[in-house]
Amino acid sequence: MKYYIIAGEASGDLHGSNLIKALRKKDKEANIRCWGGDLMLKAGGDLAKHYKEMAFMGFLEVLKNIPTIFKNISFCKEDIQKFDPDLVIFIDFSGFNLRIAQWAKKNGFKTNYYISPQIWASRESRIKKIKRDIDNMYVILPFEKDFYEKKHNYPVHFVGHPLIDAVENTEIVDEATFRNENHLHPQKPIIALLPGSRKQEVQKMLTVMLSVTKDFPEYQFVIAGAPSLPDDFYMSFLKEEVGYVSNQTYSLLNHSHAALVTSGTATLETALFEIPQVVCYKGNWISYQIAKRIITLDYISLVNLIMDKEVVKELIQNDLTSKNLKQELLKITEGKERERILSDYKSLKEKLGGKGASQLAAQLIIENA
């Protein structure tokens, strides 16, 4: 069969690559064209456009790039028409994908959504578009099945979370080699810094994250470079007590003692490696004011959302200060708070289900084609 897959950011590229591998394993004749990144290309997808060309963050940046966004939408429709797939698979990236889904459905293409738009967080009215335009939805968070089926009478498939497989299947460099190859201190415990994947986000997050390094001289702070940004972008943030690794986030987490993490998929990845963390978020003031009025959640991190309680501390907007960050980081380096978080992480893993999310999603997509 012919598959057209659309992912628009780094996490979508990761999950899309694992889905491509699973589809190709189950369908030996699979012909896959995609929007994504290097991982989807490496997995065997024919890349139509790289997500780096679409990574616009926040309301203001989206407004500034509206002409580019509309050009991408037009190109995507033309490309789908030309490729003529048996089905289209959308991965998260809802602002773009729901527009394409409406067009695709009207033009007779079968539509599948893998990794639901977070309509349970904001703009719940989008359920009307999903019901109208999506033939099959595959969800990865346990509470999403009840949200769709019980609240909105829309049947979905819960396949488990693909990060479980991604974490378990990633080759981890041993600690001595990891430290040596990345010029890190041979003994100091590591505090990982995961500042996000978009330039303006990373700049903002690293400024405050690095402000506490002087308060923890016994630790080595290490920045996880995002694949979407060049290495030289990070160089201005480096100093004697700060290290940097590129495209080795999982190895970094595996060898870390604690972490400071920008809200997003990385919070769940950090939890799966059982690393106590403080979740950080500070957006553009106008964007934050708008988001605050449309997002209806009690938490912003996936860890807390899935557990429906505060497992990890979230420092958001004005609460994200050097003073607060130092205080919360102290709590998770040792003591009862650290032990409590580690205990809650075990419950989190149980809630997420077992291995094989990508394989199950691929199997259901093929069966429902």
The model's pLDDT over 21-68, given as tens digits with 9 standing for 90+, comes to 999 999 999 999 999 999 999 999 999 999 987 765 555 555 666 777
Confidence (pLDDT) at 164: 92
Q: Could you tell me the CATH number of the domain that includes residue 200?
A: 3.40.50.2000
DSSP state, 173?
P
Both 265 and 328 in a single domain? yes
Both 100 and 193 in a single domain? no
Both 73 and 216 in a single domain? no
* pLDDT average, residue stretch 129-154: 96
- The mean pLDDT of the chain is 92
Tell me what percent of the residues of the chain surpass a pLDDT of 70.
Answer: 93
Both 97 and 137 in a single domain? yes
Q: What is the widest separation between alpha-carbon atoms in the chain?
A: 61
Handedness of CA 16, 126, 132, 161 (dihedral sign): positive
At 166, the pLDDT band (50, 70, 90 cuts) reads confident
Q: Which two tokens stand for residue 112?
A: 């599948």
Q: How far apart are CA 307 and CA 171, in angstroms?
A: 28
Q: How many CB atoms lie within 10 A of CB 47?
A: 16
246 closest CA partner among 261, 262, 231 = 231
Q: Which residue range forms the structural domain that includes residue 20?
A: 2-161+354-367
Both 147 and 35 in a single domain? yes
Both 201 and 333 in a single domain? yes
Both 156 and 179 in a single domain? no
User: E strands of the chain, at which residues?
Assistant: 2-7, 31-36, 46-50, 87-91, 110-114, 136-139, 157-158, 190-194, 220-225, 242-246, 256-262, 277-281, 313-316
Residue-wise pLDDT tens digits, 185-243: 999 999 999 999 888 889 999 999 999 999 999 999 999 998 888 999 999 999 878 99
Both 62 and 129 in a single domain? yes
For the question of whether the overall pTM of this predicted structure is more than 0.95, the answer is no
Please measure the distance between the N-terminal and C-terminal CA atoms of the chain and give it in whole angstroms: 9
Residue-wise pLDDT tens digits, 3-21: 999 998 888 998 999 999 9
Both 210 and 277 in a single domain? yes
Helix then strand count (H, E) for the chain reads 18, 13
Both 7 and 153 in a single domain? yes
Both 34 and 138 in a single domain? yes
Confidence (pLDDT) at 178: 97
Residue-wise pLDDT tens digits, 270-305: 999 999 999 999 876 555 555 555 555 789 899 999
Report the b/e string of 173-211 with b at 16+ CB within 10 A. beeeebbeebebeeebebbbbbbbbbeebbebbbebbbe
Tally of domains in the chain: 2
Confidence (pLDDT) at 10: 83
Both 290 and 332 in a single domain? yes
